[in-house]
Each structure stands twice: as C-alpha cells, then as structure tokens.
Chains A and B, each alone.
Chain A
Amino acid sequence: EVQLVESGGGVVRPGESLRLSCAASGFRFDDFGMHWVRQAPGRSLEWVSGLSWNGRSTGYADSVKGRFTIARDNAKSLVYLQMNSLRVEDSALYYCTKAVGGLYSGSHNWGQGTLVTVSS
C-alpha cells in the first residue's frame, strides 16, 4: 500500500523558513515523479512544485519560484520542500503526492498534508 507522510509544518513569521519532508513507502520510489500541492482553507488546490524520478527535472509555481526548492533522496525515499522567505499567502495545507508516472503526470496518491501557517 502506498503511504505518503508529510512532516515539518508549523507556525512561522513572515520572512522565515521551513523545510517540509515527505516519507514515502509501498512503491518503488525512484520510478516516479513527486509533487507538492497546497490548499489554503476554503480555496482551490494549487500545484507548488514537482520533480522527476532522479530530481534532475523540476518545476515551480510562479508564486514560489526563487523562494522554494524541491529535492529528493531516493536512498531514503524522501522528498523535501525547502521554503524560504515565507509570506502570509503561503499559509496552507501542503500535500505530498506521488505522480502517475514521470514529472509530467497527475498526482495518483496523496498524503494527509502538513499545515503551514505564516503569521506575524
């Protein structure tokens, strides 16, 4: 069974940093792309970032480009999202997702999310 467990969320002030982690299990991790998707309360889904199986191809939403960095450790089956210069509008539930295939594919499996709150 595919399991994705996010961690690292919390309450921070504007301008601070957080690193989210996603521990994956139940599938061959280095066969799939991975994504981060966020959802603010009462809002639609927003794709944040994604990366290919080997981490060499990445993509970012315009709203986070230059501030967030996605990475993966295939030996440990972990995906990370380093979030710098956080803004109030980054507050959301952050989901880690396993792609259907490579980077350019939908999100087949979803974790339960980790909550990020940015507030002064």
Chain B
Amino acid sequence: EIVLTQSPATLSLSLGERVPLSCRASENIIRDSVAWYQQKPGQAPRLLIYDASSRATGIPDRFSGSGSGTDFTLIISRLEPEDFAVYYCQQYADSPFTFGPGTTVNIK
C-alpha cells in the first residue's frame, strides 16, 4: 500500500502567515489522485482539495493545492482564525486508499 508522510507534525503560527503543508508518498501517485481535508475537534473532516489542485465547493481561495508524483503541498496563503485545525492528505490512486498522519496547525 502507498504510505503517506506529512510534515511537519505540528505547526505553531500567527494569523496572516502563509502555511505550506507537505504530503509525501512512498510511491508515485498517478492522475494526481490526492485530496486534502481539514478537521476541527468534534467535527467530521471537510474536503478542501481533490485531484491535487481542485478546490472543493465553497472552499475559500486562500487554500490551494499543488504537486505531482510523490510530493504534494497544501498552501494556506493567509491564516485566518478558523483555519486552526488538523489537515490530512489522502491518496485514492491505488486501493487501499490511505491517509497521512495529519499536520496540526496551532495558534502561536
């Protein structure tokens, strides 16, 4: 199975900062089949990005995704108060579809 590694595990940041979150795959992911999700405590995850760079419905344009092959990135251009959460990447190119361990974005 494809193993996803997310780095860093935790980030402490200030409002307005630009945040790059990394997701690295153990093997090549075809068709850019990567999604990014945001999860807040006590809530179900929310899809942010699919197919590596397509924003889901209703997602603000400060969220963007990029990457191909084994390296993918979610960028939050300017941190807002509601962006402090855990972010997960997922690959769905090859079953079993796997998630990364997550990156927690905290308030500094």
Query: From residue B52, how far is it (CB to closest CB) to chain A in Å?
Result: 10
| Chain A contact residue count (CB 8 A cutoff) | 23
State whether B44 touches A104 (Cβ < 8 A).
no
**Contacts between the two chains (Cβ within 8 Å), count:** 66
State whether A113 touches B35 (Cβ < 8 A).
no
Which of B10-18, B19-27, B74-82, B94-102 is near enough to bind chain A?
B94-102
CB closest residue in chain B, given A112: B44
Which of A9-17, A55-63, A84-92 is near enough to bind chain B?
A55-63
State whether B44 touches A45 (Cβ < 8 A).
no
State whether B37 touches A45 (Cβ < 8 A).
yes
CB closest residue in chain A, given B35: A106
> Residues of A at under 8 Å CB distance from B?
35, 37, 44-47, 50, 59-62, 95, 100, 104-113
